[in-house]
């Protein structure tokens, strides 16, 4: 195939060339070559961008002067797709946004739908949700810790974290049937009860997890290189973060204890005794320490939830919402009719709109659902914490070294699947 | 903010600043402490699993490649072509074309049967909704996860492929293991 340069430009090529990048402020450089500005493109395929994030960086020497995140490389149109599916069918779709927090995505959506439907979720289902949500939080933090440490050059951390993450994924596989994107949380409860033997496996895990985190801390927390790379690097004041709408561990690192699990308890989080780790300075080291401390707290919540796990149903008995039990399909005509109705058309949701916020591993994850009374949502919108938190990259890193930008991006923990949706 | 945390807040212990006198200590002491984590892994032994020679057994609930089923006694297909699974599929990857059973050509136990039953595994998201939707237990999620192919069209599984036993069985573990 030959490339004919004289051929008239295609429509696409014209479109592409019509885009001009916003001009960057020229800095008076004089004739000193050391102060010349360099525009550098980082990503979208760069190992340190944690996904397909593209950064347009203006550098003066090694100092970051300007930074523009460019997103949209994994835009999947999930929000729009969800409008075309009945509520039941939208769950596994919505779940795939933030691929490290699938239980959270599903719960935000189901919680919003349950609020509109005003269905009561049985206590056992709530506890099972809490256990899986917290396992998911630990899993997400382990991925963050492993990849962040890798960015700082601590290769073995990556393997340790993924080894322990494997234990969690194993638990997910056993109880929900899938390691990722489990569709375990359903409107009105959870899909299945936990299987036999799961509780003891979970116990094994919660028993060993704190000592594993101790080992990680031994390796990282006081290491001179880690301190040099993280402590006092790229802080941002609490007011700035609040102005940008940043939530989660980033905000808590500055000392603001805003955690939705405590502030507006949902899903019986008020039954459990746990603390909110906060930092003081809001620099990268605090961001690191807060997340690591959160792992211990999550383990505590799981232990309490498992000890106090109530007996009873794990799905609401509201037949307008929940599928009838399988054994009834063969015997009861009414159950069969309900089953057909729910599978083909789905349940109808009374008109209204709701905003349902929960605390995901990265901050306030909320689902907005507007219903027009039909069996499909009229609008689904996710407030994804990674998307909002990404705005803080520029104010955090302006004037810092490019190497610190990498560390800050790692401590920011963005998940591009959630940002682009 | 209307909410005050009180003693539910836990301030993380701040590390001392890098460099200075402590820096020299940390360059040795803390590095050694870190090495303790690394070295004690030697005792634990490797965690690596040599896939594909060794396969991790899956749990009974694992949702792998679908299977269609027959009645064991009569050999008739359980699927009656009701298309409920296709209606439930969030990825719209099931195609069912139903046909009438005749006395000469009886395929399924019901009035009708699935003349065409295709699942496009390139689109399937393995949510298992088809299994939940099927009122006759005709389709279930099997345990096989090795499904890669060189061609997209090879990933469209037909009824015959789904009814057949898989070429190689995926190891399965018991519920409590
Ligand atoms: S597992 Fe889900 S996506 Fe796959 S065929 Fe069944 S319903 Fe469709
Ligand atoms: S597999 Fe089940 S749900 Fe699907 S067409 Fe056959 S009988 Fe109906």
A344 is a domain residue: yes
- Going from the Cα of A166 to the center of ligand 1, the distance in angstroms, rounded, reads 25
Query: For atom 3 of ligand 1, which residue has the closest CA?
Result: B124
A355 is a domain residue: yes
Q: Which residue intervals of A187-259 are DSSP H helices?
A: 198-220, 224-230, 238-244, 249-252
- Spatial CB neighbours of A25, under 8 Å, sequence gap ≥ 6: A66
Measured CA angle at A152 (ends A250, A70), to 5 deg: 60
**What burial class does residue B1 get, using C-beta atoms within 10 Å of its C-beta: 0-12 exposed, 13-18 middle, 19+ buried?**
exposed
Nearest chain B residue (CA) to A166: B47
Predicted local confidence at residue B28, as pLDDT: 79
Contact A113, A401 (CB under 8 A): no
Predicted local confidence at residue A1, as pLDDT: 43
Predicted local confidence at residue B177, as pLDDT: 59
Half-sphere exposure of A12 (CA within 13 A, CB side): 0
Q: Is the CB of B129 under 6 A from ligand 1?
A: yes
CB–CB contact B15 A178 (8 Å): no
Tell me, yes or no, if A281 comes closer than 8 A to chain B by beta carbon: yes
DSSP class per residue in A314-328: SB---TTTSPPPHHH
What does the pLDDT look like over A200-210, one tens digit per residue? 899 989 999 99
DSSP class per residue in B111-162: SEEEEEEEEETTT-----HHHHH-TTS-EEE-S------SSSGGGEE-HHHH
CB–CB contact A196 B176 (8 Å): yes
Nearest to A222 among B11, B15, B88 (CB): B15
Nearest chain B residue (CA) to A344: B87
Domain that holds residue A347: 78-420
In angstroms, the CA B15 to CA B17 distance is: 6
CB–CB contact A228 B19 (8 Å): yes
- Going from the Cα of A337 to the center of ligand 1, the distance in angstroms, rounded, reads 22
What does the pLDDT look like over A31-86, one tens digit per residue? 555 667 888 888 788 777 777 888 888 888 888 888 888 888 888 889 999 998 99
Of all ligands present, the nearest one to the C-alpha of B118 is 1
Predicted local confidence at residue B142, as pLDDT: 86
Mean pLDDT, chain A, as a whole number? 86
A178 is a domain residue: yes
Name the A residues in 296-355 with CB < 8 Å from any B CB: 297, 323, 329, 336, 339-340, 343-344
For residue B15, name the pLDDT band (cuts at 50, 70, 90): confident
Predicted local confidence at residue B25, as pLDDT: 78
Instruction: Indicate whether A138 pLDDT > 90.
Output: yes
CB–CB contact B90 A178 (8 Å): no
Predicted local confidence at residue B71, as pLDDT: 85
Predicted local confidence at residue A34, as pLDDT: 60
Q: Is the CB of B133 under 6 A from ligand 1?
A: no
Higher pLDDT, A25 or A184: A184
Task: For residues B27-32, give the mean pLDDT.
Answer: 79
What does the pLDDT look like over B116-156, one tens digit per residue? 899 999 899 998 899 988 888 889 888 888 888 898 888 88
For residue A256, name the pLDDT band (cuts at 50, 70, 90): confident
Mutate to test the interface with A, among B10, B27, B33 (most CBs of A within 10 A): B10
CB–CB contact A163 B47 (8 Å): yes
In angstroms, the CA B121 to CA B147 distance is: 9
Name the A residues in 352-411 with CB < 8 Å from any B CB: none
Of all ligands present, the nearest one to the C-alpha of B116 is 2
Task: For residues B57-61, give the mean pLDDT.
Answer: 87
In angstroms, the CA A329 to CA B134 distance is: 10
Number of domain units in chain A: 1
On chain B, the residues whose CB falls within 8 A of the CB of A280 are 11-12, 14
On chain A, the residues whose CB falls within 8 A of the CB of B175 are 195-197
Measured CA angle at A134 (ends A133, A137), to 5 deg: 90
Going B17 to A285 to A167 to A268, the CA torsion angle's sign is positive
What is the ipTM metric for this complex? 0.85
A48 is a domain residue: no
A212 is a domain residue: yes
A25 is a domain residue: no
User: What's A289's domain CATH number?
Assistant: 1.10.645.10
Instruction: Indicate whether A2 pLDDT > 70.
Output: no
A61 is a domain residue: no
Q: Is the CB of B93 under 6 A from ligand 2?
A: no
For residue A128, name the pLDDT band (cuts at 50, 70, 90): very high
A38 is a domain residue: no
Which is the closest atom of ligand 2 to the Cα of B110? Answer: 7
Instruction: Indicate whether A142 pLDDT > 90.
Output: yes
Q: Is the CB of B125 under 6 A from ligand 1?
A: yes
How far is CA A290 from its chain centroid? 16
| Domains of chain B, earliest start first | 66-163 (3.30.70.3270)
**What burial class does residue A289 get, using C-beta atoms within 10 Å of its C-beta: 0-12 exposed, 13-18 middle, 19+ buried?**
buried
């Amino acid at each position: 195939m030959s490339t004919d340069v004289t051929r008239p430009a295609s429509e696409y090529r014209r479109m592409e060339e019509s885009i001009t990048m916003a001009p960057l402020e020229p800095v008076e450089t004089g004739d000193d070559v050391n102060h010349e500005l360099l525009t550098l493109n980082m990503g979208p395929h760069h190992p340190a961008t944690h996904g397909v994030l593209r950064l347009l960086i203006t550098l003066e020497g090694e100092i970051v002067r300007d930074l523009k995140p460019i997103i949209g490389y994994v835009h999947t149109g999930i929000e729009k797709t969800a409008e075309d599916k009945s509520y039941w069918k939208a769950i596994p779709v919505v779940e795939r946004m933030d691929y490290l927090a699938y239980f959270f995505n599903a719960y935000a959506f189901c919680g919003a739908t349950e609020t509109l439907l005003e269905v009561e979720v049985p206590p056992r289902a709530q506890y099972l949700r809490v256990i899986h949500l917290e396992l998911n939080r630990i899993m997400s933090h382990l991925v963050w810790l492993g990849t962040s440490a890798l960015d700082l050059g601590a290769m073995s951390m990556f393997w340790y974290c993924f080894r322990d993450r494997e234990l969690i994924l194993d638990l997910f596989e056993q109880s929900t049937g899938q390691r990722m994107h489990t569709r375990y949380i359903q409107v009105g409860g959870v899909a299945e009860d936990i299987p036999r033997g799961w509780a003891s496996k979970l116990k094994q895990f919660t028993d060993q997890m704190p000592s594993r985190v101790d080992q990680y801390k031994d390796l990282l927390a006081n290491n001179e290189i880690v301190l040099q790379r993280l402590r006092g690097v790229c802080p941002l004041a609490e007011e700035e973060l609040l102005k940008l709408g940043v939530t989660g561990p980033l905000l808590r690192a500055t000392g603001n204890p805003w955690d939705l699990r405590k502030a507006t308890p949902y899903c019986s989080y008020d039954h459990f005794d746990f603390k909110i780790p906060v930092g003081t300075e809001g620099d990268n080291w605090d961001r690191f320490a807060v997340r690591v401390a959160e792992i211990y707290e999550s383990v505590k919540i799981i232990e309490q939830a498992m000890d106090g796990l109530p007996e009873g149903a794990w799905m609401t008995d509201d037949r307008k919402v929940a599928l009838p039990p399988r054994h009834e399909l063969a015997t009861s005509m009414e159950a069969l009719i309900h089953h057909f109705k729910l599978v083909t058309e789905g349940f109808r949701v009374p008109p209204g709109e709701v905003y349902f916020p929960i605390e995901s591993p990265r901050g306030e994850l909320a689902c907005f659902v507007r219903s027009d009374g039909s069996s499909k949502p009229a609008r689904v919108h996710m407030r994804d914490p990674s998307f909002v938190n990404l705005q803080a990259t520029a104010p955090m890193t302006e004037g810092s070294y490019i190497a610190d930008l990498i560390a800050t991006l790692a401590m920011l923990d963005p998940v591009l699947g959630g940002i682009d949706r | 903010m209307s909410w005050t945390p009180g003693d539910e807040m836990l301030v993380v212990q701040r590390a001392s600043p890098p460099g200075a006198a402590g820096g020299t200590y940390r360059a040795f002491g803390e590095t050694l402490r870190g090495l303790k984590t690394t070295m004690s892994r030697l005792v634990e032994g490797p965690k690596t699993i040599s896939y594909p020679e060794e396969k991790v057994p899956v749990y009974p609930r694992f949702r792998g490649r679908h299977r269609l089923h027959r009645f064991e006694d009569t050999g008739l297909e359980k699927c009656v072509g009701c298309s409920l699974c296709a209606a439930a599929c969030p990825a719209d990857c099931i195609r069912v074309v139903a046909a009438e059973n005749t006395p000469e050509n009886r395929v399924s136990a019901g009035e009708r049967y699935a003349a065409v039953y295709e699942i496009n595994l390139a689109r399937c998201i393995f949510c298992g909704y088809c299994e939940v939707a099927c009122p006759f237990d005709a389709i279930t999620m099997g345990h096989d996860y090795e499904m890669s192919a060189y061609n997209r069209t090879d990933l469209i599984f037909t009824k015959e492929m789904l009814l057949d036993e898989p070429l190689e069985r995926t190891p399965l573990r018991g519920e409590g293991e």
